Amino acid sequence: MFSTKDAFKQQFLEKYEIMYGKSFEESTLPELYNTLGQMVREYVSHAWIETNERNRANHKKQTYYFSIEFLLGRLLGSNLLNLGVQDVVEAGLKELGVDLREVEEQEVDAGLGNGGLGRLAACFLDSLASLSLPGHGVGIRYKHGLFDQRIIDGYQVELPEQWLRNGNVWEIRKASQSIEVKFGGDIQVSYGNGPLMFHHINAETVTAVPYDMPVIGYENKTINTLRLWSAEPSQFRPDKGDVMKYKRETEAISEFLYPDDSHIEGKILRLKQQYFLVSAGLKNIVRTYLKNNDHLSDFHNKVAIHINDTHPVLAIPELMRILMDEHGMGWEEAWHITTNTISYTNHTTLSEALEKWPISIFKPLLPRIYMIVEEINERYCRGLWDKYTGDWKRIEEMAIIAHGVIKMAHLAIVGSHSVNGVAKIHTDILKEREMKLFYDYYPTKFNNKTNGITHRRWLIKANPELARTISEAIGDKWIAKPEHLSALLPFANDAGFKQKAYEVKYQNKLAFARQIKQLTGIAIDEHSIFDVQVKRLHAYKRQLLNILHIMYLYNRLQEDSNFSITPHTFIFGAKASPGYYYAKKIIKLINTLAAKINDDPKTKDLLKVIFVENYRVSLAETIIPAADVSEQISTASKEASGTGNMKFMMNGAVTLGTMDGANVEIHEEVGPGNIFTFGLTAEQVLAYQRNGGYRAIEYYHHDQSLNQVINQLINGFFPVPAHEFETIYDSLLVQNDEYFVLKDFGTYVRAHEKVGEAYRNRDQWLEKSIINIAKSGRFSSDRTIQEYADEIWGITRS
Ligand code: 26W
């Protein structure tokens, strides 16, 4: 149906009439979106079935990527791209008087994730399918994804997100493959002749219903599966009264995505979500496996299960439970299979994000799983004792269960065969500090897999003109082999190519400026530097450092008529976790600052601040291609990797950043002349944290301009009540500036001066920009996924 433009047109019209029972003339855009989406879904169904059959027939090892989040964004555009039918569809629709872009914009983002971790999972699925690797996603079909953000009077207001309100053309409900998941109840042990038998009685049962979404590989006929589980009331529930309460509590499990990144909320519902995902996902995998294999002893050679952070770590005791209680396997063999099946990625070293569950919550909800975790802990601690006899302190620190809590990261390390960090520096910090004791005990488990992003969505789709310009220069080999972007290097000195790169960036800036005008009414100068910081709002990401610098520039422009800057538009986008008071104040501060300076006659041509509401994947796709400067300014050692940094680089923005996360590797790739770095190193930050010695107040006293901006937070400079920004002020001076904002302020200001200077030399700037694009191939998630496939999962092309 997509073979020619005319064939497409005819099928499209037919499909529309069948679906809506009216003529095309009466169509609306949402209907057109649905029609096209449905066509694509049907078009892939054949290849989808074939991929599944191939997987079944060739007995190849399969990977299942378990993640509590998949931040997919919109799918129509990337599906058309990967199927290679974008041009036909675009041309066909055009003849019908329809703009494909407008149709694509009807799609509501699938926002089933918070940020980095969830988006990484989505990029990985795209790469798995595009490399023809047998790898599938397993997640939860939340009814509401990450909240919609509105800014009212400068404050963040959250609205429930409603991505399913018009249905979801990409999913297929597979009710016949539903699975029962059990919570609560009691464990009965029976002693027969053979091994002990464990029976789960009086449990509350929940039905997990799978919804499958196709994951379409790039022009390779591979269609993998993302299976999302939805919680529904069970038909097998023993009569236990209050059925309405039961229904409510059951459906609550897959109702909302928890909007926290990096901060644990010890809510029982969250733990229910985790077990629900893991139990349904695993039972399903084992069931599928047993259709094609006689016994489970070979399971780990046919199945690799990856857990994305500790959220799905219950996969370890749950797989043990299934093997032992449901299939009669002994502990030793079950443990061998489990640990060789499971691998684990750590995504953060922030201590407040490390999951710990109180036994008091865990045990009543998951009684059998708790018994297994206890047994794992006991056997493991015995092993520790053999090696570190007498060293109680070490054993206590390394235990899985201690002081009334279960430490999920410890369980993940003990119960898996591979533990990886997400950038070199992050993995080093894990090995040398956060997980040092574990690294000493299990030196071979630890490895690094530097993150990546799919260049298909983030370059070809988000920035089609740049992609075309690149292909004109070096051919299109880079699409299949992104490292080949390096062939662009010589063009960093090619006047013709530079001019084209300039034009592309300019057009992207123009398009974004138009969108901003439409969304906010604010006119921005498309010739100014577009300096962008878009990411979740968090103290360690230091949006505050960016703000204080803008205030500093504003003050200088007010006070010193000889002071000038390259015209600058500072763009922010960020959601704050609803319960994160400080982060919400930062949003208010950005908006208050924007209101104060954007219309100031003295500065308005030089300085603008924009806060884009409701930052999400689809918005990122228009912001990032328009960026000149990429702000990656976390306190060194705190950002595990970052992936936005890679998206910006690939679109020709130059990084202004600390030596943190993958910035270090970007620096290594492009060289010091093509990135602007500043600030404390990770070693310095960690040394301060260990030994003390940082006194923020000294920087406040000794740096005049810093003193001024900090005072302005509370002295009436902003037209807000005096206490409005007190928390921010206190974080710096009373709480001694945990994230070293003041310490890094001076070097940040100077780095910015260098950026402004460099930008004024257009030729040199373009050279930097092109070098960044040319060196970005290494950060394609195709490279990352190939490493996971070769070094962790042991899977090959199907
Ligand atoms: C339990 C609460 C919670 C929720 C989410 C704790 C921790 C998380 C994630 C680990 C936070 C996260 O998204 N981490 C980010 O992962 C990205 C992908 O690896 C990295 O690029 C980011 O640096 C890291 O912050």
What pTM was estimated for this model as a whole?
Answer: 0.98
Assigned domain for 102 exists: no
Single residue among 396, 429, 451 that ends a domain in this structure: 451
Catalogue the E-assigned strands of 558-683: 568-573, 607-612, 629-632, 654-657, 676-677
Where do we find the tokens 């003295």? 602
Q: Based on the fold, state whether residues 312 and 400 are members of the same structural domain.
A: yes
Q: Taking Cα atoms as reference points, which of 32, 17, 21 lies closest to residue 89?
A: 32
Q: What whole-number distance in Å separates Cα of residue 713 and Cα of residue 728? A: 8
- List the residue whose alpha carbon is closest to atom 4 of ligand 1: 261
Separation of CA 311 from chain center: 14
Is residue 431 within a helix (H) or strand (E), and if so which, with residue range? none
Q: Is there a contact between 320 and 338 (Cβ–Cβ < 8 Å)?
A: yes
Residue 194 confidence (pLDDT): 77
Which residue has 């555009």 as its token pair? Answer: 77
The helix/strand/coil state of 93 is: helix
> In total, how many domains does the chain have?
2
C-alpha to C-alpha distances, 595 to 331, 607, 724, nearest whole angstrom: 64, 12, 15
Q: How many A from CA of 309 to the centre of ligand 1?
A: 8
Is 475 in the same domain as 444? no
DSSP 8-class letter at 552: H
- As averages over each run of 10 residues, the pLDDT of the chain (798 residues) reads 93 96 96 98 96 93 98 98 97 98 98 98 98 98 98 98 97 98 96 86 96 98 98 84 92 96 83 98 98 95 98 98 96 98 96 93 98 98 97 98 98 98 98 97 98 98 98 98 98 98 98 95 96 98 98 98 96 97 98 97 96 98 98 98 98 98 98 98 97 98 98 98 97 98 98 98 98 98 98 96
Residues 385 and 472 in one domain: no
Contact of 606 with 568, CB cutoff 8 Å: yes
Co-location of 113 and 138 in the same domain: yes
Residue 45 belongs to a domain: no
| Most ligand 1 atoms within 8 A of CB, residue of 67, 262, 277 to mutate | 262
Within a domain: residue 27?
no
406 and 530 inside one domain? no
Query: Strand pairing of 148-152 and 155-159?
Result: antiparallel
CB-count exposure of residue 310 (10 Å: 0-12, 13-18, 19+): buried
Write out the DSSP string of 410-428.
HHHHHT-SEEEESSHHHHH
| CATH for 207 | 3.40.50.2000
Range of the structural domain that residue 683 is part of = 455-779
| pLDDT at res. 238 | 66
Task: Give the burial class of 415: count Cβ atoms within 10 A of its Cβ; 0-12 exposed, 13-18 middle, 19 or more buried.
Answer: buried
List Cα–Cα distances, 302 to 48, 82, 342, in angstroms: 20, 28, 12
Q: Are residues 431 and 476 both part of a single domain?
A: no
So what's the pLDDT on residue 132? 98
List the structure tokens of 141.
């079909």
| Whether residue 672 is found in the same domain as residue 758 | yes
Q: Please indicate, yes or no, if residue 599 is contained in any of the structural domains.
A: yes
- Residues 199, 116 within the same domain: yes
In a domain, 96, yes or no: no
User: To test ligand 1's pocket by mutation, which of 309, 424, 660 has the most ligand atoms within 8 angstroms of CB?
Assistant: 309
SS3 category, 307: strand
Model pLDDT, residue 775: 98
Q: What is the 3-state secondary structure (H, E, C) of 198-254?
A: EEEECCEEEEEEEEEEEEECCCCCCEEEEEEEEEEECCCCCCCCCHHHHHHHHHHCC
Please state, in angstroms and rounded to a whole number, the distance separating the CA atoms of residues 456 and 471. Answer: 14
CA of 123 relative to ligand 1 center, distance in Å: 15
Atom in ligand 1 nearest the alpha carbon of residue 451 = 19
Tell which residue, 255, 224, 251, 97, has the closest CA to residue 161. 255
Residues belonging to the active site: 347, 535-536, 541, 643, 647
**Domain limit, last residue, from 451, 476, 502:** 451
What's the gap in Å between 430 CA and the centre of ligand 1?
A: 15
Looking at the domain assignment, is residue 576 inside a domain? Answer: yes
Longest dimension (CA), the chain: 92
Tokens of 685: 């930050």
| DSSP class per residue in 566-633 | --EEEEEE-PPPTT-HHHHHHHHHHHHHHHHHTT-TTTTTTEEEEEESS--HHHHHHHGGG-SEEEE-
Residue nearest ligand 1's atom 21 by CA: 642
Inside any domain, residue 346:
yes
Q: How many CB atoms lie within 10 A of CB 19?
A: 13
CA of 261 to the centre of ligand 1 (A): 6
Distance CA 461, CA 69 (A): 23
CA atoms of 145 and 137, how far apart (whole Å): 17
Locate the ligand 1 atom nearest the alpha carbon of residue 640 and give its number: 23
Q: Which residues line ligand 1 (CB under 6 A)?
A: 115-117, 120, 260-264, 309, 347-348, 353, 355, 422, 451, 639-643, 661
Residues 544 and 667 occupy one common structural domain: yes
For the chain, how far is it from start to end, CA to CA, in angstroms?
26
Domain boundary among 451, 468, 498: 451
Mutate to test the pocket of ligand 1, among 263, 348, 352 (most ligand atoms within 8 A of CB): 348
Give the Cα separation of 754 and 743 in Å (integer): 19
Residues present in the chain in total: 798
- In this structure, the residue with its CA closest to atom 7 of ligand 1 is 262
Residues 488 and 415 occupy one common structural domain: no
Cross-strand bridge partners of residue 547: none
Atom of ligand 1 nearest to the CA of 354: 6
> Cα(88)–Cα(109) distance, rounded to whole angstroms?
24
Q: Distance between CA atoms of 164 and 75, rounded to whole angstroms?
A: 14
Q: Are 645 and 633 in contact (CB under 8 A)?
A: no
Query: Which amino acid, 210?
Result: P
For the CA of 348, the nearest atom of ligand 1:
10
Strand pairing class (204-216; 223-233): antiparallel
In sequence order, the β-bridge partners of residue 402 are 405
Sign of CA dihedral 451, 454, 460, 461: negative
Give the separation between CA 731 and CA 712, rounded to whole angstroms. 15
In a domain, 484, yes or no: yes
Q: Is 612 helix (H, G, I), strand (E, B) or coil?
A: strand
Which residue has a Cα nearest atom 12 of ligand 1?
A: 117
758 and 691 share one domain: yes
- Tell how far the Cα of 194 is from the centroid of ligand 1, in angstroms: 45
- Considering the domain architecture, whether residues 426 and 542 belong to the same structural domain is answered as no
Structure-derived torsion over alpha carbons of residues 634, 639, 644, 647, reported in degrees to the nearest 10: 110
